[in-house]
Amino acid sequence: PIRRGLIYQRRHMPERKEIAFKLLLDISSSMKKEEKIENAIKSLLLFSEVLDELNMPFSIDAFSDRVIRIKSFEEDYKACKARIIELNEFLGGGTNIEKALIFGVEDLELFCKKRGMKGILMLFSDGEPTRGLKGEALKDLIRQVKGRFPTIGIGVGESKNFIEEYFEKTGIRIRDISMLPSAFLFLMENQLKRLSFAG
């Protein structure tokens, strides 16, 4: 009669926020070592299957000295799957993280503004940039990108990797390349938890 207890408490279901993912993959010459590209392709395929199943928009760019569009936000994943599988045919050149980030964040921002969505940018690379911005200048650019979207850098391999240094608190290093697919999914799950029900 006094309406106390859990049964009378108002239950509020949070609204699910739509999220778009921008994936940037390094395909420079150094990716030939330690089966890095093979595991990167497996990761992208697994990641793409999950995002496609969840009906979450995503875009994929591969980069070295230049940036190559593998899948746009509007394209159907199944129509682009062959391009992901064939990525090892494009290996070569230097590593230009600056160019990849600039192209990536502009594409993500345009799509998210048009659709009223949130966005996440993820960059995978195995080493130090050999083209474009480096050192503190690159760190400054990454901080600017983080001011616009959650941004994660993933580095792999036993040798010295600069991803942790450049991406600071949002950079992770995976020493065993075979763990990359599960790391991709772990990161995606964490980001979805953070953003899906954000106010």
* Mean pLDDT, rounded, for 143-167: 81
CA distance 121 to 132: 19
DSSP per residue, 30-85: GGGGGGHHHHHHHHHHHHHHHHHHTT--EEEEEESSSEEEEE-SSS-HHHHHHHHH
**More confident of the two residues 20 and 162:** 20
pLDDT at 158: 60
Q: What pLDDT was estimated at residue 159?
A: 60
pTM of the predicted structure, to 2 decimals? 0.81
How far separated are the first and last CA of the chain, in Å rounded? 34
**Pick from 74, 68, 21: nearest CA to 48:** 21
181 pLDDT band, cuts 50/70/90, is: low
Q: Tell me, what's the pLDDT at 103? A: 96
- The percent of residues in the chain predicted with pLDDT above 90, rounded, is 42
- What pLDDT does 110 receive? 96
CA distance 81 to 87: 10
Cβ atoms of 45 and 84 closer than 8 Å: yes
Mean pLDDT, residues 121-148 taken together: 90
